[in-house]
Amino acid sequence: MRLRPPPHAPPLLADLPARRLLCGPYDVATSAPRVVENFLDTAHFGLVHEGRLGDRGHLEVPNYDVVDDAHGRPGVPHYRAWQPQGSAAASAAGWVDYRYQVLSPYGAVLAKRGEGEAPQEAYALWVAPTEPEACRVWFTIFTADETRDDATLVGFQDTIFRQDRPVLESQRPRRLPLAGGERHCAADRLSTAYRRWLQREGITFGVC
């Protein structure tokens, strides 16, 4: 499926590749913020997505900076990740530069590029909270790949999300705790920035 670019795309979406594919919906038995937080987390790549987004030889999370945009939404301008097969289009393992940005309480985008390149691929996450502890998830893939068919590219993301789902649905509490009670480490700083931003925005649905 080809999607027409939105007429007034936010700047962070405007520089992304023109080919756009929709993945989902996926119904998930957890809160919408849990899904966003998982999308922002890199520490699980080598454990949950071994052989694709990470491997056990590269579990360390390198130092990274969280930078708020003009609206106070947290993001990470650069995050360096080792990926055995970062996408359906990837032909070899390599270092990939990620750019993360929270777009809304239930939406975020990540863009990937090689050294010195414009983003070659990006994933936007859109979560519709249907109940405080249930949600429906879609992704938009933005890709410069013109060789692989839609089913191959969407199938890769289906596989990635099939790996995330049992982890997401096993987390307790299902609502994202904003009031404390969980331990965090330096690797979680984007997740904790997202939690603090939800708190500042007064979000009450799907959190506790």
Binding site for Fe ion (CB under 5 A): 164
**What's the min distance (Å) between Cβ of 51 and Fe ion?**
13
Q: At 169, phi and psi to the nearest 5?
A: -80, -10
Q: How far does CA 170 lie from the centroid of its chain?
A: 19
**What's the min distance (Å) between Cβ of 48 and Fe ion?**
5
| Residue with smaller CB distance to Fe ion, 6 or 51 | 51
- Distance, in Å, from the CA atom of 187 to the CA atom of 180, rounded to the nearest integer, reads 17
**What's the min distance (Å) between Cβ of 40 and Fe ion?**
10
| Residue nearest Fe ion (C-beta atom) | 164
- Distance, in Å, from the CA atom of 6 to the CA atom of 171, rounded to the nearest integer, reads 34
| Residue with smaller CB distance to Fe ion, 164 or 188 | 164
Q: Are 169 and 30 in contact (CB under 8 A)?
A: yes
37: helix, coil or strand?
Answer: helix
Q: How far does CA 23 lie from the centroid of its chain?
A: 13
| Residue with smaller CB distance to Fe ion, 18 or 76 | 76
| Residue with smaller CB distance to Fe ion, 37 or 164 | 164
**What's the min distance (Å) between Cβ of 11 and Fe ion?**
26
